[in-house]
Structure formats: C-alpha cells, structure tokens
Structure 1
Amino acid sequence: MSSTDANANSPVVLITGCSTGFGRSLALNALSRGLRVIATARRLSTLDDLRDKGAKVFTLDVNAKREALNEFATKEAIAAFGQVDILINNAGYLLAGAIEEDTEEEIRAQFDTNFFAVINLTCSLLPHFRQRRTGAIVNISSQGAYLAIPGCGIYSATKAALDCITEVWSKELAPFNIRAVSLGLGAFRTAVATSSNTIKPQRGEIEGYDSAHDFLRIFQERAGQELGDPDKAAKKIFDLLLSPSPPPPPPPPLPLRFAIEYTRILKERLKDIEEWKEFPVGVNAEGPVFEGSGGKF
C-alpha cells in the first residue's frame, strides 16, 4: 500500500536522511502500513522510488539555519498533508578518528549535524505539535553514547547529548501530550561504514592510537556482515510508535531510550558507584538544607 492509497486520517511521518540506510527502511515500512510519508534528503534524486510509492519528497539540508527550517516546516512539511504527527530525526554521519586527530572544524561540524540540527528541526515543528496537543519525536541515536567507543568518540558524544536532550523533551513536552524517544541503535547492515557517511580526520593518523585506528578498520571490514537488519528494526520502531492505546487518548508513553547493551553497561556503572560511594561524602556545605524542590532538582 502506498501513501496515495492511505486513509486520509492515517498518521503523517516526517523522516530525515531517507536516501539510504535506516531512513529508507523507515520510509518504506511506513508506506507499507499506509502511513502518509514525508521523505527528505540532501539530493532529491535519491528519493525517486519513494516518490513513486506515494511519499511526498523534499530536499532538506538539516544544517540550515532555524529560520529556513521554520519555513520548510510550515510551507512544505506541514503543507504536504496538512499536519505532521511523527518526526524521525535520522540524518547524520560518523566522524572517525581519535579525538586528538579530529580538528576543531570537524568536531563542530559533527555536532552541527548530529545534535544542533536535531534541535533546530524539532523546534521548528514544536509549535505545530503544541497547537494540536499531539506528536511524537523519534531521535535515532547510537549505542556508542553508552559504549564510548575509541575511534568514534566525537560521534559518541553527539549521541550522548542527543539522548539527554530527548529525555528532557519527554519531560518538558509531556503536558502537551507530545512523546519523545531516543533509539540507541547498534551495528546494522547499512552503507554507513563504506559511504560518505563515515568521515576520516583530514589531518591523518597519529601514531600510537591503536584502538582508535582498529575501530575504523574493523568497522569497514565488517560492513555488510553486521547482525542488525534495518528493515526488521524499522518494523519494530513503527510497531512501538503505532501501538494501540485504550480509549480515550493519549497514546501510551514511549520508553526514554532503547538499546541492547544498556543493561550490561549500567550494571558496570552501578558497580563503580557502589565501590566509590563513600568518596563524595563530606563535601556538602554546612547549614540548613533547602528542600523546596521536592527532590526534582
């Protein structure tokens, strides 16, 4: 079933970065469910087949200024079907290399695309979501946010920041019935490892950073052999987003974060906390304790 066959009342999903990989899998799964799909990419020609299947397609540079994104949101995205119900922030890339090898310009560019662009595009749609008092924000994150992998430290940092901002959104936007979830994806069979979506530092390698250099070598050698299937993951994601809720609305809450490795990593961190729990004792100021926040802050 294509978007042209979809029910006029079916949810509208806006997905960034649909030219390849997860974005394309998400768009195709949404179309197969009869959802109304807005697919975006930097090059419109990469979206021809999605247009043929019924998607509305647009050129979008997620790094555009917020004013330009505001115009895109109102004049193109919302105008396409009269509404947007789900925003999936998928566009991004991976900056490889040891942190010392990455230049200041490369680091800023990585944060611009993977973090600040998500904030700007999401904020351009939030007035629409708030006015309608409904909406869902899905941020495609990475297990690197918790694994802190040598060789893609800056990328991992952008995803950790994205996880945090998503959790904040889930709290700030709850009164408007707007949901937010961060999806910490692992290794999937996409073209990210062998395409322009993985960038090496321009200044080259610094001798001795063996673990960082091994990451990129292994990452590229295993391309196409990863365990994850993006099409199966896309189905799971929409199963989550579209899960039925008992009447009356609102829809069921979304988990704050999803990732396979979180349990193991959190257990390790809890072990460290337990071992060092006495170390910070004795650093509070003397005097009365302010309890006006009710433990919220």
Structure 2
Amino acid sequence: MSERLLLEKVDYERNEVTVYGETYPLEHTCFATIDRNNPTALLDEEEEVINKLLLSVQHSEKLARHMKFLMKKGSLYLRYNGNLLIHGCMPINEDGQMEQMEIDGQVYKGRALLDQFETYLRYAFAHRDQTDDLATDMVWYLWTGEYSSLFGKRAMTTFERYFIKDKAAHKEPKNPYYYLRENEEVCRTILAEFDLDPEQGHIINGHTPVKEINGENPIKANGKLIVIDGGFSKAYQSTTGIAGYTLLYNSFGMQLVAHQQFNSKEDVIQNGADVLSVKRVVDKELERKKVRETNIGQELKDEISMLKKLMEYRYMD
C-alpha cells in the first residue's frame, strides 16, 4: 500500500502531489506542521491528541463488548445450508478469476485468501499488545486494501477529495466483482470455490445498497445472487427508495421481502398510511429441504456419530 503514502509524494514547494503517475495542484492545504523530511512524524501536541483518542478506544467498555460479540459470532464469510453469505465482495479480476495476493511469501486467492485474512484478524484481536506485526498491518489492510473483501475498492481517496479539485482524482473504482456478479457463471465459480453446489447454492450479499428507486433488481445472476442491503438505515433510504430487505428462508425455498419506509406514527394514525412489504420469490424448492440437509442437521449427525462411538467404547468386550 506504499502508493497511499501521499504525504511523501507532495511537492511542498510547488504545492502539488503525484498520485498514480498523475500530478495535481493542491488546494485548502494545512501542512504547516508537517516535517518535509519526515512527513509521518507527529508534533508532541499531535501525539498527545492521538494518545488520548487511543486511550478512549482501548478502554471503551461498549466497544469492547461489541468487538467480542463480533469475534465470537462473526466471520468474513459463512457457508450455511448450501449458501454463501458474504458481506462485501469476493476479490476477482476483470476476467472473473480470483485475485491473488502474496502474504508473508505465500500467494493466496479465493477462499484461501479470506481464510488468511480472518486468521490474521483473530490473531491481532487476541494479541492486542502486539502492534508492530503483520497481523496488525492486515487489520489496517482490510479497511482500505485493494484486495480486501470488506473494502471492495481499489483505493480510498479521502486525501484527494480534501485537497484536489479535479474530481477525476476522487474516483474509487470498485472491484470487478460488483458488475461481474450479474453473471451467473461467475457466481457459480465463486460457489464452487467455497465447495458449495452451484446448482443449489446462492450467494447472499450485503454492503452495497440496492437502488430500487432506479429499478435495480436485488436478485441477480438468474437467482444465484441476492443482495440484501436495501437501505435499512434511514440515511440510505433516499438512495434506495425502500427501507431495507428481509430474506426469508425455509424448507419451501427463499423469499426476499422489501420494506417500505416508515415515516411516523402520526402519519399512520392521521392518514391511515400503512407499512407495506413486497415479497419476491427467489427460489422455490422442487423438493422440500430436510433437516438433515442443513447445517444444524449436520451438527446433529456429528453428535449421533460421537454418541455411537462412545457407546461402542463403553460396551466393548
């Protein structure tokens, strides 16, 4: 990520910066406290502010509780009942092939890459006293890295939006996944990468709000991918035109429910307005799925197998 060390790429005499080979004039700069020979060095006063912020974060009881919950219950992806749940994206290139990334001398891609990300993430959480190591670096990389499945863009151009007038420098190109996920074959390839049946499985995706207001369909790739981010947060509802999705899944199949915006209790009482939900059938099972075909069913079968082994051991001659 050395290309994002932008303070080192600033020409302080000409008030210009070179980003990805292009040179742009800077405006609204506030670089008076920057040491040109060591741009990342902090003044004593700046370091004091950072340390206070760090102390607040490290000793926040609520944040610690939330993080423990995420680490206990969460994962970068989840294989569940033959489906793949993934928040951001699957890093792929323009040809639909898995992006490769070298980590500590080894090259990873696809599912193996996400497994590596999660391994480092969990290690960093378990060893919070270690801050100058690869695991900590990987936490930062997952925030803004080009091949991060959580970020899903080529760069975070916050610096450019602050200091460069040319809007061409503000662009944050998305990973090709976000347009190739419309392709059924690409989705089938991703499902196979995670050892899931492309015929029966689906990718259930979040992160990018679906603009239903513009006619965008949350069911993509001939039903192989469902985007369930419909703008549940009120801040996104003007963008999506709805108030979020709920995915219903049972032995009969899948349904996606789109919720309309709820304005106020007064509007409901005075005008008789109702909160409407629209259901879409995503997939209808030709044969109802049995419990034994689910994740819980597999856990039950594993427990039965273990009990049988214990019985054999207990009553063996």
TM-score, length-scaled by structure 1: 0.28
Which protein shows a greater Rg? 2
